Chains A and B, each alone.
Chain A
């Protein structure tokens, strides 16, 4: 279906990534945001708090990130599309209720504008070191979807996509921005509402007495009932059966948690989104995401000037990992080179998918800035030596 025009600021704008993300959320139909101030993400909620009262949305600044995430899960159960926004330290606090969202199969979006860590780290400066936390940060087994934009335009586009994926798969979707993209100002084109496709909540058509909140009927994903529609359903963070009732057994755990994992893993190829450049015939492929993709672009051009055949794959969806495609690439190149603003996170997945056939070479960066493209070129040269 098409989105609600009330949230769409159609036109060409000059926006930073944080503002563009905010516009993406509003354009996607998000009407509830709970947040807690944290650099470098705060501009997202500042824009939303200014615009929401004009479009039937409610923003609340909660007492902390634990509360923000809990409120988002609660609001999502009313059917109102919901989001929270944070950076590393707040992301750590949100992990508890991101797990709850995963367990209750709650569609919602969490934006993390990444800064340098660990702990308070570099509040105003870039990092990409929360990528594994996004994947594994809450305890127990679950799957999420994580997106990574490289520009303000993409922050807008992917935020809409994040809401749509959250609805389709009933998972928390993590917008893994970074400080550079968040604070970079570029042209952002916002299309008219009639050109923005939205995935609506899949509301059940069953009568309340027959409704079981986690009955999937051979599908991957159950139908949804909103609080207040007469279903009087139960949901819990405990391991539960299809009625949403706690069942403390290994058998129930197997049914409940396996589906949480498989509903994403089985659709990894459908969810995967990446862009490739000059991959055909390349000896080395750079595997990149977020702001680092733009630095890698320059490195790729520099290496090609030296006569090295370098290509690039840029991941727009990082989790689930595009395993199929990385495996294919590993069959035909001599090395995969992974620049990222951390000391080795996504490279571990690349290495796993390469299965020892070719080296997966990390180009690390501690944060506080982006890579010097020369370092990436050196890594490419080194990988071929």
Chain B
């Protein structure tokens, strides 16, 4: 079995190549995202953060669910899993527990992680599962044609709320923080440097880390709500954002075309699921406790 160990991609970039190309499956480019969709810049920031943080990319896994952001795993040159709708977090939980040395990241959309996958989201946060969860919020179901999402702001139109949305949306940083997340931040997809720095910071943290990125859906959300082009909307989000680090998450709701409170809201060190499990079994069983090795359970060969 041939195994590359401790690969640092920055050592291998040819001079004429885009700096993040080694992090992407260039044989799958062009991607499927619409012009001025915000997801691409989020991927760029994440790849830059991986590069700058110098982590061993061979030990980084990425898991996505289904939807536009659900395609991120498919473009990242990592061990990449395009799983089922809403189940990226439990799939990632299995990866992390099956090989605890992995850095496991989840990249998916608001419909996937907060809609169909909402129960998994709160439980993974509650148990402080060691996952970095990136949720790109475009306020709508993009892949299926602009249906209402659990994040669609009140009064905004979607294809299944043609008279405007009357259901109150989730405040996702608040949901994450109150469920137990150890790191919670929100940026828009034009906060390139801040978002990259936040990714880097979260890569270095442990426990359930949650980063929400507000991004425009140019094709559906912008069009259905007559908000101009995707780029207009991207700029609008950026210009109407207010950075308030440490803001109480109960105050960061997003109204239709209202202010977007960004920043790092939570950053606390707490024992993770694995810390708690090891400590507890160590106390209860003493020398009889045999933790799973970092490289996995009874891997033989």
Chain A residues with a Cβ under 8 A of chain B: 1, 4, 6-7, 29, 31-32, 34, 53-58, 60, 62-64, 66-68, 70-82, 96-97, 99-100, 200-201, 203-208, 226-238, 243, 245-246
Contacts and interface: CB of A to CB of B under 8 A. Distances in A.
B97 interface: yes
A97 to B, nearest CB: 6
A77 B28 contact: no
A226 B296 contact: yes
Contact of B94 (A74, A207, A228): A74
A78 B297 CA distance: 9
B202 to A, nearest CB: 20
B101 interface: yes
Given A1-B300, A200-B301, A56 B290 contact: yes
Contacts of A229: 1, 3-4, 58
B92 interface: yes
A76 B299 CA distance: 11
16 contacts: A32-B97, A53-B281, A56-B293, A58-B292, A70-B90, A75-B94, A75-B98, A76-B94, A78-B296, A80-B292, A82-B94, A97-B83, A228-B101, A232-B78, A236-B74, A237-B84
A207 B79 contact: no
Contacts of B281: 53
B277 to A, nearest CB: 8
A235 B295 contact: no
B177 to A, nearest CB: 19
B99 interface: yes
A333 to B, nearest CB: 45
Contacts of B102: 78, 227-228
A227 B79 contact: yes
A97 B84 CA distance: 7
Contacts of A56: 290-293, 297-298
Question: 3 tightest A-B contacts by CB?
Answer: A31-B297, A74-B94, A75-B98
Contact of B98 (A7, A76, A238): A76
B174 interface: no
Contacts of A32: 94, 97-98, 292, 297
Nearest to A198: B300
A289 B76 CA distance: 47
Interface in B33-92: 57-59, 61, 63, 73-74, 77-84, 86-87, 89-92
Given A54-B290, A58-B292, A236-B74, A228 B82 contact: no
Contacts of B292: 31-32, 56-58, 80
A107 to B, nearest CB: 12
B2 interface: yes
B91 A73 contact: yes
Contacts of A29: 298, 300
Given A58-B292, A73-B91, A234-B73, A205 B1 contact: yes
Interface residues of B, number: 58
Contact of A73 (B83, B99, B119, B291): B83
Given A76-B94, A100-B87, A205-B2, 16 more contacts: A6-B290, A32-B292, A34-B94, A53-B288, A56-B297, A67-B90, A68-B90, A70-B84, A72-B94, A75-B94, A78-B102, A97-B84, A99-B84, A228-B61, A228-B102, A232-B80
B269 interface: no
B274 to A, nearest CB: 9
A116 to B, nearest CB: 27
Nearest to A230: B4
A53 B87 contact: no
B289 interface: yes
B81, B83, B90, B281: most-surrounded residue (chain A CB, <10 A): B90
A96 B84 contact: yes
B123 interface: yes
A78 B90 contact: no
**A60, A73, A96, A230, most chain B CB atoms within 10 A:** A230
Contacts of B21: none
B97 A58 contact: yes
A234 B78 CA distance: 8
Contacts of B61: 227-228
B57 A64 contact: no
A99 B85 CA distance: 12
Contacts of B81: 74, 77, 227, 234-236
Contact of B63 (A58, A74, A205): A74
Contacts of A62: 90, 93, 123
Q: Residue among A54, A97, A227 with the most chain B CB within 10 A?
A: A227
A76 B296 CA distance: 10
Contacts of A100: 83-84, 87
B102 to A, nearest CB: 5
- By CB atoms of chain A within 10 A, which of B28, B84, B277 has the most? B84
A76 B97 CA distance: 10
A99 B83 CA distance: 11
B95 A237 contact: no
B80 A71 contact: no
A78 B296 CA distance: 7
A8 to B, nearest CB: 12
B120 to A, nearest CB: 5
B95 A4 contact: no
A227 B2 contact: no
B144 interface: no
Contacts of B86: 66
Nearest to B87: A70
Contacts of B3: 229-230
A240 B124 CA distance: 30
Nearest to B281: A53
B7 interface: yes
A235 B57 CA distance: 17
A73 B94 contact: yes
Contact of A80 (B2, B79, B99): B99
Interface in B249-294: 277, 281, 285, 288-293
B301 A203 contact: yes
B83 A70 contact: yes
B79 A232 contact: yes
B25 interface: yes
A227 B91 CA distance: 13
